[in-house]
C-alpha cells in the first residue's frame, strides 16, 4: 500500500490531477520557504518565518524524475498498536521483571521502576516513534534530519543484529520444551522413570535429595544445553542437532511471517500479541486456587523500604525499562515509519508504555503464585525456588508446572505463551534491520523476488551464526552476548539520540514537528509536550549519564558469571568489544560526515547538523499525497439533460457510422 497513491481516471479526473499537482507544487514552495502549516491543517499563504540555524541551507534542487518506490503502510490502527505491544511485551516481562521486583525490595521496587518509566522510558519511546513517523524512514535514513548522527542508526542496526542472533535461540529452547511437553509424564518430572533415582523417596514433589540436581535442572543442563560436557567459553564442543533443528524451524517461521513485510506480520500479531494475555489470565486463576500461592504473592510484593537507598535498585529499574520497551534498538522507529502522517503518536506512546508495564506487574502474580505453591510442596522458602533469566522460565517454572494436576496441559500452554512472546519481539528487531537496509537500497522494496531473497539470506546467516549458541558450551556465549549487547552501548546510543534531537536538530523544532503531525493538536497533547520537552533537554540525559556511570563501575568491579563458571578476562574483553563496536559507529560516521563537507572545521560541523533539503520536502510531499485526492462527484447528485446533449449524441453516432 503506497503513501496516498493517486490514480488518473481520465477526463475530468485528469483535470483534477493537474490541479492536485499544482497544489503539491504550491505546498512544496511553501515548505521550502519555511512557511509553517497552520494549526487547522490548511496550507495558507503566510509571511516567511525567521530562518533558524536548521533552515539556512541552500534551496533544494529541482525535483528529479526518478521514480519513488512507495512504502507500505499499516492496514489499520490496531495492527500498529498490537505490533508495538507485542514487540515490547516479551520474555523479559515474564522472567526478568518478577525476579527484579522480588530481589530489590518487593513492592517498593515499583517506585523507582515507575519513576524511571516516566522520566526516561516514556520520553525516549515518544522520541523514537515521532522521529520514525515524521521522517517515514528507518533507523539510518531518518538521520537526514542531522547527518552528523547517522552513526546512531548504524549503531542501532548493530544492536539489533546481536539481539536477533541470541533471541531466537530462546525460541529454539521453547520449541524443544514445547515438543517435550507432549510426553506424559513430563520428562523433567519425578513421575518419569528416568528420574526415579533423583527423586528417591522425596514425597514432597519434584525436589532432589541431598545436593544432587533436581530432574528439571538435569533436563535443562544435560538434555537441552549439554553444558555439562563443556569446560567453558573456550570449549564450545559440537552442535546439538535437536536444538539446531529447533533453531532452523524458528528462523523459518520468522521468514514466513515477515515475507510480505508489515502486510503479513501485521496480521500475525492479532494472535501472537493477544494469546499471551489469555494464558496469563488462565495461569493467575489456576495459581490462586493452589495451596501456598498467597505465600508466593506476599514474597513478590512485600516492601523493603531500606532498598530505596541502594543504587543497584535504581539501575535495575532503568535497565528493565530499556530492556522491556525496546528503546534504542531501531524496532520502534521502523514500525512507526509505516504510520500515517497524522497519527496521534503521543496517545499511542501512553497506551503502549502503560500496557507494557502493567503486563510486567500482572505477570508477576502468575509466576509467583505457582512458585509459592511449589515452595509449599517442597517445604522450602520461596526465595530458594525463585530464579532469574532462563533459570526461571526453563527450570523453576517447569518444575512448578510438573506439580500441578494436568501438568502436560499447563506445560504446553506455558511454552506456547513463551513462543508467542519471543516471536513478537523478534518481529520488531528484524523489522528494524530490514527497514534500514531497504531504505538505503530502495530497489529491494520494489521487487518482491529481491526482497524475498534478501530476507531469506538474512535469516539463513543468522541461523548459521546462531549455531555457536546451540553447542554444548553455547550457553556461555549466549550469556556473554546477552550481557553486553544491550549494556553500555545501548545507553550511549540513546544518550546521543536524545542530545542530538534536543540540541542539534532543536527540541523546539522537534516539538513543532509532533504538533504538525497531530494537527489539530488537542490541548492536552500540548501540555504533555511541555513535560517531554523538559525531559529531553535535562532529566533524561542526566539519568542516562547516571546509569552509564553505574554500569561502568559495576562492570569494572564484578566478574561475569554463569552459575559457578567465572568468565576469563579475554571473554569479558570480547563482550566489551561488542558493546564498543555498536557505540563507536556514532564517532566513525560523524567523522565521515564532516569529511564530506567543505570549509573550516567549524563550518563543516554546522553543515552536518542541519537537516538535508530532502528531509522536509519528502515529509511535505507525503502529507500532500495523503490529503489530496482526485476530484470525484459526490452522490447523491442530479444530472439535467438538454436538447443539445441529444443532438451531440446523434452527431457522434453518425460520425462513427
Please give the Cα distance from 166 to 227 (Å, whole number).
Answer: 17
Do the annotations mark residue 421 as ligand-binding?
Answer: yes
Q: Is 208 helix (H, G, I), strand (E, B) or coil?
A: coil
Q: Burial of 153 by CB count in 10 Å (0-12 exposed, 13-18 middle, 19+ buried)?
A: buried
**C-alpha–C-alpha distance, residues 83 and 268, integer Å:** 9
SS3 264: helix
Q: For 263, phi and psi rounded to 5 degrees?
A: -70, -30
SS3 at position 561: strand
- Residue 404 to residue 187: CA distance in whole angstroms: 15
- Vertex 250 angle, CA 245 and 255, to 5°: 125
Peptide bond into 520 cis (omega under 30): yes
Please state whether 106 falls in left (phi above 0), alpha (psi between -120 and 50) or beta.
left
Does 348 count as an annotated binding residue?
Answer: no
Q: How far is CA 173 from CA 100, 225, 248, 250, 340, in A?
A: 23, 9, 12, 10, 38
Q: Fill in the DSSP letter of residue 611.
A: P
C-alpha distance from residue 201 to each of 193, 207, 208, 255, 402 (Å): 13, 10, 10, 48, 17
Cell numbers for 509, please give them.
523544532
| 122-135 helix and 613-627 helix, angle to the nearest 10 degrees | 80
Half-sphere exposure of 287 (CA within 13 A, CB side): 29
Cell of 551: 554500569
Which residues fall within 8 angstroms of residue 544, CB to CB, at 6 or more apart? Answer: 120, 491, 494, 495, 498
- Does the annotation place 356 within a ligand binding site? yes
Q: How far apart are CA 137 and CA 501, in angstroms?
A: 16
Any binding-site annotation on 269? Answer: no
Q: What is the CA radius of gyration of the chain?
A: 28
Taking alpha carbons only, the member of 102, 460, 131 closest to residue 298 is 102
Residue 392 C-beta-side C-alpha neighbours within 13 Å: 25
315 is in an annotated binding site: no
Please confirm whether the linkage preceding 636 is cis (ω < 30° from 0): yes
CA distance 553 to 538: 23
Q: 86 a known binding residue?
A: yes
Cα(438)–Cα(581) distance, integer angstroms? 23
Q: How many CB atoms lie within 10 A of CB 97?
A: 24
C-alpha dist (Å) from residue 637 to 147, 640, 641:
53, 10, 13
Give me the residues paired with residue 471 across strands. Answer: 239
Q: Which helix (H) or strand (E) holds 537?
A: none
- CA–CA separation, 626 vs 519, rounded Å? 14
Distance CA(387)–CA(395), nearest Å, equals: 8
Pick out the residues of the known binding site: 86, 89, 93, 324, 356, 421, 424
Known binding-site residue numbers for Na(+): 86, 89, 93, 324, 356, 421, 424
Amino acid at each position: 500500500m503506497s503513501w496516498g497513491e493517486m490514480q488518473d481516471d481520465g477526463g475530468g479526473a485528469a483535470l483534477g490531477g493537474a490541479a492536485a499537482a499544482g497544489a503539491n507544487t504550491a505546498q512544496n514552495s511553501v515548505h521550502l520557504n519555511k512557511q509553517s502549516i497552520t494549526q487547522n491543517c490548511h496550507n495558507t499563504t503566510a509571511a516567511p518565518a525567521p530562518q533558524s540555524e536548521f533552515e539556512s541551507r541552500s534551496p533544494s534542487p529541482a525535483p528529479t524524475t526518478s521514480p519513488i518506490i512507495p512504502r507500505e503502510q499499516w492496514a489499520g490502527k490496531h495492527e500498529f498498536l498490537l505490533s508495538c505491544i507485542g514487540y515490547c511485551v516479551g520474555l523479559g516481562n515474564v522472567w526478568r521483571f518478577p525476579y527484579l521486583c522480588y530481589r530489590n525490595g518487593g513492592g517498593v521496587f515499583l517506585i523507582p521502576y515507575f519513576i524511571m518509566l516516566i522520566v526516561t522510558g516514556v520520553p525516549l519511546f515518544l522520541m523514537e516513534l515521532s522521529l520514525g513517523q515524521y521522517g517515514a524512514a528507518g533507523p539510518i535514513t531518518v538521520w537526514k534530519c542531522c547527518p552528523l548522527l547517522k552513526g546512531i542508526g548504524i549503531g542501532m542496526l548493530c544492536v539489533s543484529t546481536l539481539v536477533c542472533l541470541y533471541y531466537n535461540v530462546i525460541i529454539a529452547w521453547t520449541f524443544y520444551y514445547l515438543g517435550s511437553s507432549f510426553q506424559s509424564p513430563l520428562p523433567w518430572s519425578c513421575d518419569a522413570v528416568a528420574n526415579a533415582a533423583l527423586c528417591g523417596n522425596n514425597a514432597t514433589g519434584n525436589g532432589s535429595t541431598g545436593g544432587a540436581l533436581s530432574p528439571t535442572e538435569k533436563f535443562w543442563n544435560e538434555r537441552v544445553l549439554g553444558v555439562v560436557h563443556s569446560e567453558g567459553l573456550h570449549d564450545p564442543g559440537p552442535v546439538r542437532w535437536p536444538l539446531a533443528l529447533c533453531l532452523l524451524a524458528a528462523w523459518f517461521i520468522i521468514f514466513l511471517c515477515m515475507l510480505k513485510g508489515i502486510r503479513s506480520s501485521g496480521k500475525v500479531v492479532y494472535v501472537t500479541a493477544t494469546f499471551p494475555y489469555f494464558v496469563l489470565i488462565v495461569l493467575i486463576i489456576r495459581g490462586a486456587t493452589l495451596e501456598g500461592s498467597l505465600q508466593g504473592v506476599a514474597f513478590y510484593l512485600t516492601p523493603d523500604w531500606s532498598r530505596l537507598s541502594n543504587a543497584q535498585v535504581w539501575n535495575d529499574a532503568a535497565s528493565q525499562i530499556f530492556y522491556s520497551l525496546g528503546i534504542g534498538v531501531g524496532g520502534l522507529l521502523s514500525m512507526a515509519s509505516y504510520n500515517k502522517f497524522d497519527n496521534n503518536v503521543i496517545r499511542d506512546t501512553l497506551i503502549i508504555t502503560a500496557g507494557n508495564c502493567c503486563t510486567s506487574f500482572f505477570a508477576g502474580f502468575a509466576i509467583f503464585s505457582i512458585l509459592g505453591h511449589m515452595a509449599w510442596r517442597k517445604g522450602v522458602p520461596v526465595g530458594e525456588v525463585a530464579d532469574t533469566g532462563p533459570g526461571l522460565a526453563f527450570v523453576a517454572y517447569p518444575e512448578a508446572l510438573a506439580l500441578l494436576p494436568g501438568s502436560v496441559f499447563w506445560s504446553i500452554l506455558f511454552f506456547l505463551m513463551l513462543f508467542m512472546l519471543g516471536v513478537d519481539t523478534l518481529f520488531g528487531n528484524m523489522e528494524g534491520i530490514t527497514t534500514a537496509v531497504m531504505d538505503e537500497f530502495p530497489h529491494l522494496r520494489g521487487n518482491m523476488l529481491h526482497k524475498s531473497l534478501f530476507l531469506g539470506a538474512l535469516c539463513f546467516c543468522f541461523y548459521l551464526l546462531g549455531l555457536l549458541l546451540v553447542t554444548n558450551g553455547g550457553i556461555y556465549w549466549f550469556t556473554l552476548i546477552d550481557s553486553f549487547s544491550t549494556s553500555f552501548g545501548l545507553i550511549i546510543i540513546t544518550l546521543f539520540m536524545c542530545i542530538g534531537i534536543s540540541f542539534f536538530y532543536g527540541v523546539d523544532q522537534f516539538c513543532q514537528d509532533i504538533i504538525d503531525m497531530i494537527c489539530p493538536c488537542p490541548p492536552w497533547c500540548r501540555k504533555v509536550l511541555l513535560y517531554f520537552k523538559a525531559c529531553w533537554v535535562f532529566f533524561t540525559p542526566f539519568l542516562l549519564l547516571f546509569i552509564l556511570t553505574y554500569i561502568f563501575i559495576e562492570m569494572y568491579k564484578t566478574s561475569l558469571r554463569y552459575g559457578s563458571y567465572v568468565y576469563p578476562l579475554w571473554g569479558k574483553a570480547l563482550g566489551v568489544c561488542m558493546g564498543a563496536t555498536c557505540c563507536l559507529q556514532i564517532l566513525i560516521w560523524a567523522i565521515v560526515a564532516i569529511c564530506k563537507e567543505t570549509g573550516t572545521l567549524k563550518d563543516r560541523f554546522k553543515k552536518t547538523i542541519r537537516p538535508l533539503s530532502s528531509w522536509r520536502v519528502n515529509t511535505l510531499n507525503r502529507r500532500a499525497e495523503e490529503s489530496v485526492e482526485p476530484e470525484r462527484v459526490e452522490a447523491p447528485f442530479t444530472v439535467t439533460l438538454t436538447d443539445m446533449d441529444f443532438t451531440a449524441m446523434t452527431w457522434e453516432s453518425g460520425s462513427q457510422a
